[in-house]
Structure formats: structure tokens, C-alpha cells
Structure 1
Amino acid sequence: MTKPASAIRRAVLLCSLALPSILYGQQPDRLPVRLFVGYGPGGGTDVVARAVGEELAKIWNRPVIVENRPGANGAIASKAVARAEPDGSTFLVMPPTTLIIDAYLRPTVAVDPTKELTLVSGLAATPLVVVTPASAPYNNLADLIKAARAANGKFTYGWANLGMRVGMEEFAQKTGIKMTPVGYKSAGQSVPAIVSGEIDMLMIDMAPIAQLVKAGKVKALAVSTPERSPMLPNVPTFKEAGIDVQLTGTIALYAPAKMPQNAIKKMQSDVATILKNGELRTRMQGTGMEVITQSPEDFEGYLKQRKKSIDAVIKVGDFKLE
């Protein structure tokens, strides 16, 4: 091998070894890290992104900026990350179910999370809570179901992401009711709609709605998890209401697909570190969420099982993307 060729090989090797330190902000002149969120401010995904971003910024000593890119059921944000340079400066915070559903419904145009993105880690999980306007005449889930059946398809519910949409479809299938979906760009937009009575029902994650429940602005009829939520301990579960549906909203962190594996591992380590932070856990619990403690591998296994149930719901319901 010639000396110039040998020198080039050594330079390439040194660059590859230096990659993780460059990726994670040890260069003060690097641009800030961006966390893309596919919804507007105020929803659970946005809350998680901002909390996680603040903690990562402390570790990296580098600005972390949340960029809200609402629209197209989160696809604007997911496509931006899928097409970004895998240099450690761009990530996606998104409910995995939204990516799964969009890829199922629009396989030729949606981002395929298994090919165009890399799952870094689960971040947070939240119960979903069924709420109605405070003026609604029903005070429990049985009354709501009875009213929805009597409305012959005119009973409306709001949704702000595809996970919420399919969750409601699963609820409708289990209870044998037909409802009319009303879509919003973000949870922050759907909340005023339920408060004002623009829609009849909303099933939403805990973060944007819990304080309104406590203030009496809306009624909470049930939570979707097997156990009651400490945030709303007086609200019964679906199981207590005799409905065999268990839904947990999850939020995860993704990187562009071609991000080097050693950089992914470093990112996973950093995320695991901040998720163990007691202050962050307390902050999450204050919004009704819990940090996800599963390993990335176990969380990915959970998502594969969840995909099977989502596929079944969509097939049975002849689900259409509005």
C-alpha cells in the first residue's frame, strides 16, 4: 500500500472513531439538536419532547430545540426526520402507533418506521381518558354508550392523531356503537372543542386534560388502562365499566435510519440516564404520564404486538384516513 493511501485510510478510521463525540455536541460551534414533533404545542407528545429536550441539553451542554411541525397526521415531522442527515442533530418524538397506522394506510407515501427511521427508545406512557363536556347529561360510560347508540351515528368524537383515531375505532367495535370522527391538528385544538361542546366525546392522553377535569370544565368517565390513574383516582377504568379494551398511549424517540449504530447506542445510553432522573419522573407524573423503563429491544417487541392488534382493528372497521 502506498503511503498516501495508508494516510487516507488512517484519516478515515480516525474520523469514524471521532463520530460519536461530534454527534453529541462536544463541538461548541455545532448547530442545536432539533426534536421534531408532529403536533402543535400543548399535547402530551409536545410535553414529553420539551421535558426530555431540557434534560438532554444538560448532558450534552448543547441547545436542544423542539420544532412543532403539525399536519398530515404527523407525517410532515416524520418525513423531515427521515430525510435529515444522520448526523445526530435531528430526531423525532412521536407516538409509535401513529407511524404504524400511517404506514398501514398510506404505504406508498407514508414514512416506514422500520426502514426510514431507527427506534432509539420509548420515552413515556400515559393512560387515555374519556371525557365529555361538563354539561353532558351522562355521568358514566354506560350512559355515554347508550346515548351514542341512540344517536344513530351522529354522536361525535374528536381525535388529534392516528393513535387516538384507531383507539376510538377499537372502543366503538367493542361497544357496538357508530360515531362520527372529527379531526384536529393537535390535542391542544381538540381540548377547547370538548370544553365548548363542539364534540360529544374525546379520548385523550392525560397531560392536556387532567387539570380541566379537576376544575370541572369537562367530565372524565373512564381511563383506558388496567388500573386507575393516580392523577384521577376517582375515575373508573374501562374494565370496571365492563369494556374489554386496554389502551396505553406511548411516545418514543426516533433517529434517521442511517444514523451509525455506535451513535444510536450512545443516544440510548443518554436517554436511559435522563429517564432515571427523579426530577424528570416527578415532572412526568405531574402530567399523568410515566417514563418507559423497558429496554429499547423490549419496547420494540411491545410495538410489534401492538401492530398486530392495530392491523386487526383497521381491517374489521374498514378504516379510512380522512
Structure 2
Amino acid sequence: MQRRHCLAWLAGLPFAAGAAGTVHAQDKDKPIQIIVPFGPGGSGDISARMLAEFLTRKTGRAVVVDNRPGGNGIIGVEAVRNAPADGSVLLLATTSTHLANPSLFRKLPYDPGKDFRLVGSFGPGSTYMLVRPDAPYKTLQEFVAAAKKAPGSINYGHFNATSKVTGALFAHEAGIELAAIPYKQVSQAMSELIAGQIQVVFTDTVAGDAFVSSGQLRALAVHSDARLKRYPALPLIAETYPKFTIRGGFLGIAVPAATPVDMQQKLNTWINEAVTTDPIRSRLEGFAFAPARVSLAELATFERQEREKWKGYVDIAKLEVQ
């Protein structure tokens, strides 16, 4: 999606730690900024840019998407935590930043439950298990057989907490050994997979869709609530491994916890309208997401429950806490 907004607007936005949220929400000339804590081309970046287009039309204000990758999303999250709590700076919240990181880092510099409030969701997502089109394994069973024949010889690329835990949990459930190769961005992992440097990547269907539809990569299986309408022959991972219940990638919008409730409600209303109205609704559904209207209270409950589940996933996968 082409950038429509000049990055020069960023210069006027206050990000310094301790900056007071004193700017009035009524200032309709102030840009809205959506900070994406990961690099361009990923699911968060794509979703944020769709929402930016909608909010520009809805509010008449400039909406800028700013990618702040690094540290499993921590750098971008910290930028929003220290921003004014007036609804002008939004965070693209993900499974990694709000659900998985608390279980993967001993000294996480933020508390997603205390420092932020979720105000919107793009809907439950799904996850592709991707390999090269010419990979010697054509089915999930053949992949597992190859991994068992040569333990540790198959590398999986991960680029955030979600993809790391998903790969480790799959290896645990399948009884195989996969070598984990870290990357800073999803685009790097995809490029390395296409080049044959790694053998498999687990990524959400938003980020993986273009690679699957173009034939650059092949999906061996998908993790979703049901088989995808676009690819009905593509099996679910859970059909073979019923205990593989890890939820597909979560994407939402969060604001600093001190943001006034009326502003949180306004943002919730706008985001609910955006994700349930075409063209965004159709695009999300095409990516195998299930957009729906979700209240602030429902989002809070979802976050608490899913974060607890991720503690269990990390324990089962026996991942070392950093």
C-alpha cells in the first residue's frame, strides 16, 4: 500500500519520556500517529496502513504510520508508553507485544496490562506453515518424517515472539527437533526461506498471503478455527496435532492507560466501524482474519485470558526466558 502521508509531520510529535499529555484531543489539526513496533511488510504494518486510510477519511486529520522495529517490539511499545495520552499516538498491538513478551522476558520494561488499554482488534487471525515450492516434503506428515530422520537439520525462521513460540510449540507437539534462526523482520525471514537458507517459517496469514498466492512459497498447513475458504484442501495443523491450540496472530490497537475513557471509547467505535466495513472487512477476511465489533470490556477480558495461555505455551515449548 502506498504511503499517502508525508513523514515530515512526524517532526512535530512529542515522544520524549515523561512528556505530559496536555494537548487537547479537540485539536483537529494534530496528526494521529500509529506506531508499528515491527518492520514494513508485516501483518501489523499492512493492517495499520489500512486503518490509517480509514481514520484519515473519518476524522479529516493526517494519520501517519511509523515503523519502530527492534527488541521483539519493545522499542515501538516504549515510544507509545512515553507519548501523550490524548489519543494522538496509537500502538499496533500484537500477540508478541501484549501476550507473549511478558512470559519471554524476565525484565520487560513495560507491563501491557497496566501501561496500555486495548481499544480495537482486527479479529482473530490464522497462521501459515510455509516452505519452498520445491521442498522435498509435500505434506505435513512428510515434513515431520524428514525432521525425525535428521534431527536438527531443519531450520525455522522466527522474527518475533509469536513466530518463535509457534515454531517451538509445533516441534514439541510433533516430537521433532527444529533449529531456531532469528531475524529482525518478517521480510528477512521470507527472503531467506525463498533462498533456501532456512526450511520453514510460521507466520500469520496477512504477512504470508502474498507469498502463497503468488506461488513464491507453499503452505503445508494452516492453523485456524476452520479450513480456509480460499484453500479448502489445505489441512489444519490441529487435524494432525489436536493439542496444537495456539491462537493465530492477534492484531489490535492500544493506547497509553492514562488516555481518557471517552477517547478510548471513540477510538473503539471508529476501529469497530473500520474492520466491519468494506474494503477493510473484505481484505481482512481474504487474509483469513475474522473481524468483528469488540467492546473495551471484551478486549480487556481477551487480553487477560490469552496472556495466561501464553505462559503455558512458553512452558510447554521449554523456551529459555531472556
Which TM bucket (shorter chain)? 0.7 to 0.9
Q: Greater CA radius of gyration, 1 or 2?
A: 1
Show the counterpart of 1:305.
305
Q: Which amino acid aligns with 2:311?
A: D
Instruction: Measure the CA separation in 2 of the matches of 1:142 and 1:187.
Output: 26
Q: Which residue of 2 aligns with 1:76?
A: 75
SS of alignment partner, residue 135 of structure 2: coil
Report the Cα distance in structure 1 between the residues aligned to 2:207 and 2:272, rounded to whole angstroms.
25
Q: In structure 2, what is the equivalent of residue 183 of structure 1?
A: 182
Distance 1:242 1:49 in 2: 33
1:248–1:280: structure 2 CA closer, same or farther, 3 Å change rule?
same
Pairwise CA distance, 1:202: 0.7
* Secondary structure in 2 matching 1:84: coil
Aligned to 1:287: 287
Residue equivalent to 2:227: 228
- Aligned partners of 1:79, 1:242: CA distance in 2, in Å? 37
Q: Does 1:87 align with 2:86?
A: yes
Q: Stretches of 4+ moved more than 6 A in 1?
A: none
Judge conservation of contact 1:210–1:232 (CA < 8 Å) in 2.
no
* TM-score, normalising length: structure 2: 0.86
Shift of 1:158: 0.9
Q: Which runs of 5+ in 2 are unaligned?
A: 1-20
How many corresponding residue pairs? 301
Separation (CA, whole Å) in 2 of partners of 1:137 and 1:198? 15
Alignment correspondent of 1:52 = 51
Whole-angstrom CA distance in 1 between matches of 2:270 and 2:139: 43
Return the alpha-carbon distance in structure 2 between the equivalents of residues 226 and 271 of structure 1: 23
1:235-273 deviations in Å (ceiling 9; x for gaps): 111133344313311101100121111211121122222
Task: Quote the Cα distance in structure 1 between the aligned partners of 2:297 and 2:270.
Answer: 16
- Residues 238-249 of structure 1 aligned to structure 2 (within 5 Å): 238-246=237-245, 247-249=247-249
Superposition deviation, residue 210 in structure 1: 2.4
With over 3 angstroms needed to count, the CA separation of the structure-2 counterparts of 1:296 and 1:170, relative to structure 1, is farther
Q: Is the 8 Å Cα contact of residues 127 and 229 (structure 1) preserved in structure 2?
A: no
The CA distance in 2 between the partners of 1:141 and 1:219, in whole Å, is: 12
Query: For structure 1, which segment, 136-145 or 280-289, has the greater mean C-alpha deviation from structure 2 after superposition?
Result: 280-289
1:119-178 CA deviation, whole Å, 9 max, x = no partner? 112223321010111221001111111112222223210112111111222212211112
Contact 1:194 1:201 in 2 (8 A): yes
Scaled by the length of structure 1, the TM-score of the pair is: 0.86
Alignment of structure 1 residues 188-203 onto 2, 5 Å: 188-203=187-202
Q: Does 1:64 align with 2:60?
A: no
- Contact 1:123–1:275, Cα closer than 8 Å, also in 2: yes
* SS of match in other structure, 1:266: helix
Residues 72 and 96 of structure 2 are in contact (CA less than 8 Å); yes or no, is this contact kept in structure 1?
A: no
Is there any run of 5+ residues in structure 1 with no aligned partner, and where? 1-18
Q: Does 1:320 align with 2:320?
A: yes
DSSP-derived class of the 1:235 partner = coil
Aligned to 1:270: 270
3-state SS in 2 of match to 1:294: coil
Question: Identity over aligned residues, as a percent?
Answer: 26
Partner letter of residue 149 of structure 1?
K
- CA displacement 1:86-128 (0-9 Å, x = unmatched): 1221110021343332222324233210111111122233210
- Give the match for residue 6 of structure 1: none
Q: Do the aligned residues in 1 keep the contact of 2:174 with 2:241 (CA within 8 Å)?
A: no
SS at the partner of 1:268?
helix
Cα deviation, residue 321, structure 1? 5.5
CA distance in 2, matches of 1:109, 1:126: 25
Given that 1:224 and 1:248 are in contact with CA atoms closer than 8 Å, whether structure 2 keeps it comes out as yes
> Aligned partners of 2:292 and 2:244: how far apart in 1?
21
Query: 2:27 maps to which residue?
Result: 27
SS at match of 1:259: coil
Instruction: Find the aligned partners of 1:288 and 1:314 in 2 and give their Cα distance.
Output: 25
